[in-house]
Homo-oligomer: A and B are copies of this chain.
Amino acid sequence: MRVLLVEDETSIASFIAEGLEEEGFAVDVAHNGKEGLRLALENLAEYDLILLDWMLPGASGIEICRAIRKEDQTVPVIFLTAKDTVDDVVFGLETGANDYLRKPFAFEELLARMRVLLRSSTGEQNTFHYADIELDLVKHQVFKAGAPLDLTQKEFALLELLLRNKGKACRRTRIIEKVWDIHFDHDTAVIDVYINFLRKKLDTPGQPSFIQTLRGIGYRVNDDA
């Protein structure tokens, strides 16, 4: 996870940067608005999240935020600021920011809010389940009726895709792109084989499979359990 922090007060900047680095984030720091703007626009695709000070020499946080939103509507942006009137909050959020922290704030609160935004921007979530099947991303393990089960990497990735999209149809092209990273047209039966693996390991005997086949389309794990 890579974060851009734009903050002119060096003491605050290094406090945040160090804290985040301890948490495993890669942090780029800009100490004024101009530099922040440059970094943001140059490497926009690189950043998973952007922290912006409101008052900055060079270019204000609002200007940077607007410039970012022109290019990318999805990267989460959090304002860090001493300003605290309601109008400013509203203005900040309307500008395209996703959240807003009033200084002084506790580092833990910043972390928690970052995690929420990262979770939702990447659709990140720790566990997925269907009926008695549970997939845990953190432990990188799957459970069937509470019992741990060993899946191979590909099996795990395929199951993750299906469960992340519970209720939605997963098209074959999407599956082959996401799990196998094959982007050109390719007629292969690997998907079928792996669906078969998952069914063998995870279906309850005597029951219909937890994976629906959508003939000509792909597969779907139903919504209702």
B-side contacts of A220, CB under 8 Å: 139-141
Q: Are A94 and B112 in contact (CB under 8 A)?
A: yes
**A194-225 vs B: 1/0 string, CB under 8 Å?**
00000000000000000000111100100100
B-side contacts of A120, CB under 8 Å: 74, 98, 120-121
B-side contacts of A168, CB under 8 Å: 138-140
Q: Are B109 and A86 in contact (CB under 8 A)?
A: yes
Q: Are B112 and A89 in contact (CB under 8 A)?
A: yes
Q: Given contacts A99-B99, A153-B217, A217-B153, is CB(A113)–CB(B140) below 8 Å? A: no
A182 at the B interface (CB under 8 A): no
Most buried by B among A111, A125, A214: A214
User: How far in angstroms is the closest Cβ of chain B from A139?
Assistant: 6
Q: Are A112 and B90 in contact (CB under 8 A)?
A: yes
- Interface positions, chain A 5-37, Cβ under 8 Å from B, are none
Q: Are B109 and A89 in contact (CB under 8 A)?
A: yes
- Interface positions, chain A 54-93, Cβ under 8 Å from B, are 73-74, 86-87, 89-90, 93
Partner of A93, one of B86, B112, B216: B112
Q: Are B217 and A169 in contact (CB under 8 A)?
A: no
User: How far in angstroms is the closest Cβ of chain B from A102?
Assistant: 10
User: How far in angstroms is the closest Cβ of chain B from A223?
Assistant: 7
Partner of A214, one of B86, B98, B140, B215: B140
B-side contacts of A214, CB under 8 Å: 140
B-side contacts of A138, CB under 8 Å: 167-169
Question: What are 5 residue pairs bridging A and B, where the CB atoms are less than 8 Å apart in the complex?
Answer: A89-B112, A90-B108, A120-B121, A138-B169, A140-B217
